[in-house]
């Protein structure tokens, strides 16, 4: 299989069951931001040494592919490619587990800390952008509501995971002084 097809040279790209929309269609913004998020999480994963967080991040990476598949094929059901409330509940459980070990958070946090936390903070901001793109896309076409819930929870997970990793490394959070 070649690594290029030349079919996108005209500024279009293929979607399952929807032909070839222009590459600047909102669906490709959302798919591209999910791809960027997956890459950012891959970098964070490289720097993460905590086995619990590593396990969660690997599951998240796979689920991001499921989200991309759902966005790319809203009219075609892909076998074994769906997210549901259980995925959101799993993220909430992970947030609760890590958050329960942290001191109470009473102030905003300036992103930083250990290498893994820095990358998780960046991934969190990319997740928020991807979420906004998915919400914008949902105003133009059908988007599974579970995807929006998942993205909202994922950014919270990434934030808490960054705080958790800093805490386990003994790194104090920095707060804005305004």
First-to-last alpha carbon distance for the chain, in angstroms, is 56
In the chain, which stretches have pLDDT less than 70? Answer: 74-81
pLDDT at 144: 87
Contacts 24+ apart (CB under 8 A), 75-84: 75/16, 75/17, 75/18, 76/16, 76/17, 78/16, 82/144, 82/146, 83/144, 83/146, 83/147, 83/150, 84/146
From CA 51, how far away is CA 57, in angstroms rounded?
A: 10
Closest CA to 155 of 50, 33, 66, 49: 33
pLDDT at 90: 95
The pLDDT tens digits for 52-96 are 999 999 999 999 999 998 898 866 565 555 788 899 999 999 999
The number of beta carbons lying within 10 Å of the beta carbon of residue 81 is 14
pLDDT at 65: 93
The number of beta carbons lying within 10 Å of the beta carbon of residue 43 is 16
pLDDT at 14: 83
Q: Identify the structural domains of the chain with CATH numbers, from first to last.
A: 19-168 (1.20.1200.10)
The number of beta carbons lying within 10 Å of the beta carbon of residue 61 is 15
pLDDT at 74: 66
CB contact set of 80 (below 8 Å; sequence gap of 6+)? none
- Where is 144: in which H helix or E strand? none
From CA 39, how far away is CA 30, in angstroms rounded?
A: 14
**pTM for this model (two decimals):** 0.92
Cβ distance 43 to 57 under 8 Å? no
pLDDT at 83: 81
């Amino acid at each position: 299989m070649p690594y290029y097809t030349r079919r996108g040279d005209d500024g279009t790209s293929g979607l399952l069951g929807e032909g070839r929309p222009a590459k600047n269609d909102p669906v490709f913004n959302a798919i591209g931001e999910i791809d960027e998020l997956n890459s950012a999480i891959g970098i964070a994963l490289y720097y993460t040494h905590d086995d619990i967080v590593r396990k969660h991040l690997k599951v998240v990476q796979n689920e991001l592919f499921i989200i991309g598949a759902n966005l790319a094929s809203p009219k075609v059901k892909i076998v074994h490619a769906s997210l549901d409330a259980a995925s959101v509940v799993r993220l909430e459980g992970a947030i609760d587990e890590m958050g329960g070990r942290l001191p109470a958070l009473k102030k905003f946090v300036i992103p930083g800390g250990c290498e893994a936390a820095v990358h998780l903070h960046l991934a969190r901001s990319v997740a928020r952008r991807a979420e906004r793109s998915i919400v914008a896309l949902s105003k133009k076409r059908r988007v599974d509501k579970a995807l929006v819930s998942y993205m909202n929870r994922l950014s919270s997970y990434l934030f808490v995971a960054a705080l958790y990793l800093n805490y386990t490394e003994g790194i104090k959070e920095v707060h804005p002084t305004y």
